[in-house]
Every structure is written in C-alpha cells, then in structure tokens.
Amino acid sequence: MATEHSPLLKHGVFSVVGDANADSRRVSEVTGDARSGTSSSRKLNTFFGVMVPTILSMFNIVLFLRTGFVVGHAGLLQGLLMLCVAYFIVSLTLLSICAISTNGAVEGGGAYFMISRSLGPEFGGSIGLMFYLAKVCACGVTVLGLVEAILDIFGKNPASTVSESWRVLPQGYWFTVLYSSVVLLLCLVVCLVGAHIYARTAFLILLVVTVSTFSIFLSTLVVGPRDFSITHDHDNHTVTYNVSYTGFNSTTLKNNLGPKYSLDYSTNTLMSFATVFAVMFTSCTGIMAGANMSGELKNPSVSIPKGTIMAVLYTFSVYVILFILLSSTCDRMLLIQDYGVLQRINIWPPFVIIGVYCASLSAAMCSLIGASRILHALALDQLFGLPLAPATITSSSGNPWVSVLYTWALVQCTVFAGELNVIAGLVTVFYLLAYAAVDLACLALEWASAPNFRPTFQFFSWHTCLLGIVSCLVMMFVINPVYSSASIVVLLLLLLFLHYRSPTSSWGYISQALIFHQVRKYLLMLDSRKDHVKFWRPQVLLMVANPRSSCQLITFVNQLKKGGLFVLGHVQLGDLDALPSDPIQQQYNFWLSLVDKLGVKAFVDLTLSPSVRQGTQHLLRITGLGGMKPNTLVLGFYDNCYPEDYFLQDPAFCEGSGGFLNDEGDHFGVDLPSLQAHFPPVRDVESQRWLAPEEYVGIVSDAIKMGKNVCLARYFFQLENEGEGPETIDVWPSNLLQPGSSNSYADVCSLFLLQMACVLNMAGRWKRARLRIFLCVHAESDDQSLLAIEERFRELLRKLRIRAAIKIVAWDMVVQLLGLTSRELVELQTLSTLPPAVLENYLHAVNRLLKEHSGQAAVRFMYLPLPPTRASQSQQYLAQMEAITNGLGPTLLIHGLTPVTCTEL
C-alpha cells in the first residue's frame, strides 16, 4: 500500500511503525513541549509526583483546625457517616479518574485534560473552567485557614487580661485580608520559581505533617486530663467557657456519639449537617492533586491511579482514627468552642503549630500550581480566545508564569471573604461539580462502547460512574442549593458560549460516539416494512455535477425535504483499477465544508464509476441505511444553457468574506481558497459535456424502474432568496403532453405533485407563499360541468387538508392545435406520432399558456411524463420538456410513483 509506512498515531505520540517518518516524531515533540514543557521536565515518579501532593492536599487545614469542629457538632456517628459519604463519593470519582488516565497518554492540565479529551471542547472547556475556579477557591480557603492558625497563636486577644509577649499581631477583618495577601504573595514567589521547588520540598513537608499527626495520636495516650477556659467575643460582650480534656473516658465517648449542632463562634451561624459536611468535605478535595501534576510526571497513566488510591486509603485511615480519639478524650464544648483543640491537648503544642503551617502552605501552593496548570492548558487549547491568550506564555524552563499571575489575582479576590467557613460551601460545590463531570466523562466513554476505550484499570463500571454522578449532584444540593443552582447555571452558560464559538479540535468528540451508538440502535428499529403513508416524507438524493452552478438548487431541496433524508450525490468518472488509490476519499472534506458553508442539513455520498448513469444507479441502491434510504431522485435539467458560477455571485464564497472558512483555526484542512480551487469552473462553450441526452434520460428511466420518484429542476439559478411581493407556488397536476388525460387529477403522480407543493408550503420562507392549483378544462363544457369539476377537486383538497386556490384554465385553443377529436385525444399515448410542425405549435402554445398564468410564480410544480422506452427518442423527449418550460423560471417537473397522501386520521 502507498501509505504502508505512514505513522499510525499523529497526535502527541511517536509513530510505532519502525523509524519511518521522522516528521511525525518532530510533530509529537512539538505538541508535547507546547503542552507540558520540554520532555526533560517530566521527572516526578508515583510517590513524589502523586502520593505526596495528594496526601498534603487532603491533610490541609481541616486536619488540624476543623477535625474537632466536625466531631463536636456532628458527633462521632454522624462524623463517621460524613467521612464515609465523602470518601464514597471520592472513591467513585477515583475509579473514573483511574479508568480515564489509563486509557492513553495524559498531558499537562490533569483533570481538565482528561475531561476535555473525553467529552470534547464544549464540555471540557466549561467544566475545566469550573474546576479551575474550584482550585482557586480552595487555595483561598487554605490561606484563610493558615492566617486563622497564625492569629490563634500570635494574634492580640483584647478580652484577655494576661499580657503575652508573642501576641503582637492586631486582629480584625482588614488585618486578616492583609495577612492572607502576604501569605499568598509568598506562595506566588515559590510558584513563579517553578513547581520543581515545591516538588523537592513536598516530601520534607509531608514528613513534618506526619510527625505532627503522630504527635496527636501519642498525646491522647500520654497527656492526662486538663481543664481549660476559653473566651470569645459575642455582640460586644465576652463569653467564657470552662471546658475539659478527660483523656480516654467511656462517658465522654457516650456523650459525643450523637450530634449537637450549635452556633459557630467564628461566623455566629447555626450549624447543620450540610454546613458541617461542607467544611469537612474540603479535606477530600485533593484527590486530583496528583492528576493536576500530569505534565511533570514520568508516566502519568501509571502514577495517577496507583498514587491516588494509596493516598486516599492512607488519609481515610488517619481521619477515622483521629475522629475516634477526639470523641473519646475531649469534652464536646471543647471541640465546638476551640478550633485549635489539637494544639491544646498536644504533648508539645509547637508540633501542631508547625504541622498546621506546613500543611496549609503546601496545600495553598499545590492548589495555586494545579490551578495555574489548568489555566495554562485552557489557554493552549484556545477555547476562550484572547482573554486567556497571555496565559500560554512560559519561562525557559516551561513554567507558565503568566497563568500563575492570573491565578494569584483571582485567589487574592477570594481572601476578601475573611472567614474559612464562609467560602467552604462554595469550594465543595465546585469540586462536587468537577467530580460529577469526571464521572460523566467515564460514563460516556463506557456507554459509547468505543473500541479504543481500553483502560488498563478495570475496577469500574457504568454503575459506579452513574452512582458517582448522582451522589455528587445530591450532595451539592444538600450542602447549598443556591450555590449548586448558580454553579450549574454558570456551567450551562459556558457550554452555550463554547458551542456558539464552535471550537474545532482533533481530540475526538464523545458526542459523536454516543450519537453513533444511538443512531445504529434506532436505525435497526426503523423497519421499512412498517412504513405508512401517513408518515411519508421526502427522502431526497440530489445529483450534483458541480456545486458552483447548483447552490440555489441545493438550498431549495433542503427546504423541500421536510425533515427527511437529504443526500448530495456526485459521480466522478474513472476506473479504480487504473488508479493507485481511491480519489473519492480525499474529496469528502471539501463537500462537507460546502454543506457547512451553505447551512443545509445534508449528507454527502460520492462514488467513482465509468459512467454517470452507472454511478447514479450505485447511489440509488446503496445510499442510506435501513429505513432511511432515498425515495426521490432530483436532477438538474438537461438543456443547452451555460450555467452561472454561484461562487462568483455570493460574497460568502469570495476572499475576505466573514464566513467560518476564513476564520483562523482548524477547519479539517479546508479553507476558502482550497474550497474554491477544488471544484472546477462551470461548463462553457469549449467544455465537453460528460453526459449525453440518452444517458440522462436513461438515468430518469432507471430511477422509475427502481421505484424512485423523479424530479427535474430547471431555472433554479433564478430563484431569489426572498421575493419582493407575496410569493406563489403554482401546481399544474395535468399531464400536458397527454391532453386526453387532463381531466384526471387524482392519479398517483398528480397527488404526489400536490403533496410536494404542500410540503414546500410548510417550510421556512415558503410558509407565507400562496398555493395555487391550475386545472386545465375544455371551455366547451357547460357551467354546471365546470362547477362540478371544481367542487370535486375542492372536496379532494378538503380531505387532504390542503389549503389552496383553485384556478380553472380553459385550454381548448391549445388542444385544438393538435387537430384531433375527443376520442383520438383520449387514445393518444404520446405526441411523438404527430407531425413535427403540429407538435411544435402545440408545445409553444402550452408554454404560452403557462407563462400567461404562472409567469410571476416563485416556483412551479409540473407533471413529468414517463420517459420513452427507446433510447432513440430521448432527444425528442428532452426537447418537448424544454419547449414547455422555456423561459418559465424555477420549475420542478415531477413524476411520482408512490402513494403519499392519506385522508384517514
């Protein structure tokens, strides 16, 4: 094969076929470098790159400053229930993360990268931005918690009568904001230097946090009972609480089993299951910390699932033990009224202080770094345009310093909340929404049954994904219905924005896989044996020789299809045996871009054949699937006119137009100049015709033999987009080439004409058009006969629910030109037997009659007689059709074979 040595994979990985095409390797290196820095920056293994940041993110400020708060308000049993619910949700999401991350190469951007490459740019961009905001708010929560811990030790206490030399920091809202800004500035400096600084120090921080945590466990065994006095300011008056640490005591454990929700002393609001759970859940939001470092990991597909699972199991065990120890040793009032209870009961209080500071700083830096990587990935994907364009800038070492500055500025805004508990609910809602999105991505991949979805991690199913989505959404609304509703509204607005921008990507669209899966299933259910005339609709195959001269007809047929199948067919002359490859395959993108440009809802089917007739037969037989196959063939009219070039008339096809094909971005390799160059110039005087009259009439005859309805379209290049005055649709249901049958208006073909005209009258711009039906009668009939004919036809229209004006046309003068008696007219099967001069006069008279009554119509529907059986009569047949329709304007000659009207309910 000619392409035997082409790269198998084009995006982000090397070719696996020998050493062929070094270009693919260079493309891969450029792609990888653009997303995650140089390949040398991928230095982190499972432990340092995933486990350490994940554990530190989950051992954040909640471990040291809110564990007692949770146990005090919720009690041990509800506290453990909250912990189990939180980790249950986290575990379900973790299964989805592991499945997605082991299904291919994961680049920089972590969770955003996985979601966007699974669900496509709309979902990926909107959910990625929401996840970014969650990381920003989480960073703000951590910084506020750290400042709270600092002020608890070094802050002035105006209610205390004892002067302590180390309590030198003034307290208040603006001082809290100031201290938070200083801490955040320190994090910014570290992050600007680079993530490798944080990665090198993270293990030391983890050791310090582990020692601090172990000191808490040890203290409950060593420290004896103690009594404390805690003072708080409430509404300009001081309240003092006498609390105690009892050590291990069965009475203390019994008292702490059940819940006792009360006022939170920092916010002076009554706590509930939802508000306490919101605070506690922030300790579980770090499971994606390792995934967000995907750009720095040596092997993300292995490290992310392995490291995250181990980190989750470790932190869950620590939290369970700590809950049990606190509920067994601390008086409930001590747990509720003092966030720093772990420091009070520690064998050496500085252990906890150091642990709080280290855990908070590391979690803040981890959130800042992770958020900046997500923003950098969003900027590289160009989903939000110019506002994020500067965020693509990186340093020489690959650090996205502009993204870090963006993120720092947003976190600075969040610290104006002033209290950790105030924005904890918002952080939790954002994270739950992001987790639900990850579960949705995995669920969609599983349901799509795509052959390339083969994750090496197998411990998941669509049940776990669906349960994860439901759990996240339920808990969102339990925690805060207002925040949850607002976040979903913002997500939907972002979805609409990105859908409107229509970003094109090469990531693969999960929507396409899901649509394929569902369409295949429903196509099997669409049984052609169950078709009923009541639900008939046009399913059109429009044969197009050159779209340069057929754009108006393509647009018109798109309006005529009434929600039915519409296929653009094209036959390229050639023999595959004489060609090195199929030339048709490279043409589909050009035709699909044309469909996009014209804004029509059509499929494209191309074929290679030695003749146009044979190719049309192929398309009529094989186009469509199951019950969705064309029932109507539409052809342009065969005459001697030279077509006009629509591409030169429409500004949308000219250089400098505002069409989508001129916008920057990936348009599947087809821009406007390429589209113009692909389709050849229209036929002129010197051009050879590829289709003989006999072959054209043969195509019509073949379609009728195959049971397809046939429409021949003439003068549709004259069709205006909008008429200046009221438009009319004229229908001539009589076979004008068989005058003896002019009084038969209810045969299958005539009813088909009526149905097609009615269908057009129901579509778009044609809804305002007036439908007129012309009945050709003999004037020699008396008035009663004419009224009876009109009344019978009006009754037919009433049964068919067609609103139309009936016009009676006397055409005795036209028929008399044939010189035949009434009996001879009825027996006349074809006009070919008449003398040429008589026939020519008759045809010209019919043409004048049509111009007189339908000259101003927007479009005309006319009866198409059956083509001749002998090929020698093809030219005469076309000449008759041409003479009748000469100079009329847009005209559709129709021969219908299938019953399409129904008078029953």
Q: Please tell me whether residues 194 and 68 are part of one structural domain.
A: yes
Structural domain span for residue 737: 715-904
Residue at token pair 């610290």: 415
Mean pLDDT of the region 306-335: 93
The pLDDT of residue 764? 78
One-letter identity of residue 648: L
Condensed to tens digits (0 to 9), the pLDDT of residues 425-435 reads 788 888 888 88
Residue 279: exposure state from Cβ atoms within 10 A (0-12, 13-18, ≥19): buried
417 and 546, same structural domain? no
- Structural domain contains residue 237: yes
Give the end of a domain, one of 453, 482, 501.
501
pLDDT value at 777 more than 70: yes
Tokens coding 569 = 């067919």
By the 8 A CB rule, do 436 and 72 touch? no
Question: What pLDDT was estimated at residue 852?
Answer: 92
Q: Is 237 exposed, middle or buried (0-12, 13-18, 19+ CB in 10 A)?
A: exposed
Query: pLDDT band for position 883 (50/70/90)?
Result: very high
The proportion of the chain whose per-residue pLDDT surpasses 90, expressed as a percent, equals 30
Angle between helices 420-448 and 462-479 (to 10 degrees): 160
Are 595 and 678 within one domain?
A: yes
- Same domain for 96 and 209, yes or no, is yes
Asked if the structure places residue 526 within a domain, the reply is no
Domain shared by 643 and 760, yes or no: no
DSSP 411-460: HHHHGGG--HHHHHHHHHHHHHHHHHHHHHHHHHHHHHT-TT---S--S-
pLDDT range class, residue 678, cuts 50, 70, 90: confident
| C-beta separation of 860 from 769 below 8 A | no
Q: Residue 452: CA atoms inside 13 Å, Cβ hemisphere, count? A: 8
| Residue 703 within any structural domain of the chain | no
Is residue 458 scored above 60 in pLDDT?
yes
In a domain? residue 410? yes
pLDDT surpassing 60 at residue 236: yes
The confidence score (pLDDT) of residue 715 equals: 92
- The single residue listed with the structure tokens 């349960």 is 467
Rounded average pLDDT over 647-658 = 67
Site of tokens 């219905």: 481
On whether the CB atoms of residues 589 and 562 are closer than 8 A, the answer is no
- Assess whether 721 and 676 both reside in one domain: no
Nearest Cα to 700, choosing from 638, 639, 623, 748? Answer: 638
Do both 544 and 453 map to the same domain? no
CATH of the domain at 270: 1.20.1740.10
Q: Measuring CA to CA, which residue among 240, 211, 212, 209 is closest to residue 227? A: 240
Mean pLDDT (the chain) is 82
On the question of pLDDT at 660 being above 50, the answer is no
Residues 496 and 554 in one domain: no
Structural domain includes residue 294: yes
The span from the CA of 484 to the CA of 476, in Å, is 6
Whether the model clears a pTM of 0.75, i.e. scores above it, the answer is no
Distance CA(487)–CA(429), nearest Å, equals 8
CA nearest 443: which of 464, 425, 429, 420? 464
Is residue 593 domain-shared with residue 675, that is, in the same domain?
Answer: yes
Do 678 and 774 reside in the same domain of the chain? no
Which pair of tokens denotes residue 668? 């599947």
Q: What interhelical angle do 588-598 and 551-560 show, nearest 10?
A: 70
Confidence of residue 23 (pLDDT cuts 50, 70, 90): very low
Could you tell me the CATH number of the domain that includes residue 552? 3.40.50
Residue 781 forms part of a structural domain: yes
On whether both 724 and 682 belong to a single domain, the answer is no
Number of domains in the chain: 3
Structure tokens at 237: 């008056």
Residue 660 lies in a domain: no
The conformational region for residue 668 under phi > 0 = left, psi -120 to 50 = alpha, else beta, is left
Shared-domain flag, residues 723 and 687: no
Question: Pick from 869, 872, 558: which is nearest to 713 by CA?
Answer: 558
User: Comparing C-alpha atoms, which of 607, 609, 617, 605 is closest to residue 573?
Assistant: 609
Residue 697 lies inside a defined structural domain of this protein: no
Last residue of a domain, one of 451, 486, 501: 501
pLDDT digits (tens, 9 = 90+) for 504-557: 666 766 777 778 888 888 888 887 777 777 778 899 999 999 998 899 999 999
Instruction: Report which listed range, 47-61, 480-494, 611-625, 788-802, is most confident.
Output: 611-625
Q: How far is CA 100 from CA 61, 315, 366, 443, in A?
A: 30, 23, 22, 10
Q: Are strands 632-636 and 709-714 parallel, antiparallel or unpaired?
A: parallel
Q: Two tokens at 561?
A: 């299809």
245-296 confidence digits (pLDDT tens): 999 999 999 999 999 999 888 778 899 998 898 888 877 877 877 776 776 7
Q: Which pLDDT score, from 0 to 100, does residue 506 have?
A: 66
